[in-house]
Amino acid sequence: MKKSRYFPFGYSMDEGKIVILPQESELLQKLFSHYLNGASLQQLADLAAQSGLRFREDSEHWNKNRIARILDDGRYGGDKNFPPIISAATRQAAAAMRRQKAAAQSPILFIQRKLVCGNCGEKLRRMKQRPPRIRWDCKKCGRRTGTTDSALFQAVTDQLLAVCRSLQAIEKEPTLSPAGSSEFTRLENEINQAMDRRETDPNELLALIFACAAEKYQVCSLGKTDPQTLMLKKLFREHCKDTKLDRDLFEKTVKQVLLQPDASVWLRLQNGVVTGGEPPCCKKQ
């Protein structure tokens, strides 16, 4: 079965030549014009959907990604032997605006994706203030924190480097206590009973004490030997001499960045341990 050949929206093939489709080209000109006048990608997607035209024969759905692809497609300006649908000036203006908007986005998006409120754990919204100040708003608890991208980046860097140099900070507290082990309780009772008896075999009592001590050591060590913590230790140990933030290390080891009211940060690692302290959203209710 012969595969369908797809042309960019606005074009078709007629007798071996690439031709412009009038209705689609008219919509394209509107999209570029509205974009240069300040319309958002979502507004442009809504406009395209209202036209009733399909993005492709097998897909009528319009979204921001498809609009972005159209705005970035140089063929509409006449590249690659395609007849131009928009003028070279329009194409250049749209490309310049795309670059400007891309540069205006947060340079720390990889941190922003994991940034949450240190008070309630809700995802934070980035709100621009006077450059270079940025305000982070929490919709859930209403808390607002002002900082700059560079200050936030440095705070995360400092926290992560501190963890690399102090592996004790990532240890999980034991989830069990000796008293929570039925075997430990049984051995402890037997020791007490043996000591209450008038006549006790010293060898039997010593064996019980050793067994009880071994059970206590095993139970108390459970929280410190989980595979995830060992993996984190290995990664951090490899970066113990770093002086700059390693983005790959950040992605692999940090689950959340908790922004505090004073713009300091704590890191919740992949094993659940929070560095820097225990924020309110981590405390047990």
Return the CATH number at 52: 3.90.1750.20
On the question of pLDDT at 3 being above 60, the answer is: no
Encoded tokens for 206: 């010593």
Residues 62 and 92 in one domain: yes
pLDDT of residue 274: 93
Specify if 257 maps to a domain. yes
Whole-angstrom Cα distance, residue 274 to residue 105? 28
Specify if 208 maps to a domain. yes
Specify if 1 maps to a domain. no
Residues 100 and 198 in one domain: no
Encoded tokens for 95: 């490309």
At 117, the amino acid letter reads C
Residues 230 and 214 in one domain: no
Mean pLDDT for the stretch of residues 92-102 = 88
Q: Give the pairing of strands 144-148 and 254-259.
A: unpaired
pLDDT-based confidence at residue 104 (cuts at 50, 70, 90): low
Residues 76 and 92 in one domain: yes
- More confident position, 48 or 207: 48
pLDDT of residue 59: 75
Residues 123 and 257 in one domain: yes
- More confident position, 278 or 137: 137
SS3 assignment for 70-98: HHHCHHHHCHHHCCCCCCHHHHHHHHHHH
Whole-angstrom Cα distance, residue 181 to residue 162? 35
Enter the pTM of the model.
0.52
Specify if 5 maps to a domain. no
With CA atoms as reference, report the closest residue to 233 among 163, 140, 160.
Answer: 163
Rg for the chain, CA atoms, rounded: 31
Q: Which of 104, 129, 150 is the last residue of a domain?
A: 104
With CA atoms as reference, report the closest residue to 269 among 252, 247, 248.
Answer: 252
Phi-psi region of 36 (alpha: psi -120 to 50; beta: other; left: phi over 0): alpha
Q: Which domain holds residue 18?
A: 11-104
- More confident position, 221 or 23: 23
Encoded tokens for 194: 């043996």
Specify if 3 maps to a domain. no
Total number of domains constituting the chain = 3
198, HSE (Cβ side, Cα atoms, 13 Å): 0
Residues 202 and 75 in one domain: no
Specify if 156 maps to a domain. yes
Specify if 32 maps to a domain. yes
Residues 134 and 245 in one domain: yes
Q: Which of 79, 104, 129 is the last residue of a domain?
A: 104
Residues 262 and 197 in one domain: no
Question: Do 272 and 165 contact (CB within 8 A), yes or no?
Answer: no
Residues 214 and 230 in one domain: no
Q: Tell me the residue ranges of DSSP E strands in the chain.
A: 11-14, 17-20, 115-117, 125-128, 133-137, 144-148, 254-259, 265-269, 274-275
Specify if 6 maps to a domain. no
Residues 153 and 231 in one domain: yes
Mean pLDDT for the stretch of residues 119-143 = 88
Residues 76 and 147 in one domain: no
Question: Do 160 and 152 contact (CB within 8 A), yes or no?
Answer: no
Whole-angstrom Cα distance, residue 278 to residue 272? 11
Q: Which of 189, 207, 222 is the last residue of a domain?
A: 222
Taken as a whole, the chain contains a residue count of 285
- Kindly write down the DSSP assignment for every residue of 143-187, as one continuous string: -EEEEEHHHHHHHHHHHHHHHHH-GGGGPPPPS--GGG-HHHHHH
Mean pLDDT for the stretch of residues 32-58 = 93
pLDDT of residue 171: 79
On the question of pLDDT at 205 being above 80, the answer is: no
Whole-angstrom Cα distance, residue 190 to residue 35? 81
Residues 16 and 78 in one domain: yes
Q: What is the pLDDT of residues 224-250, one digit of tens each?
A: 557 888 999 999 999 999 999 999 999
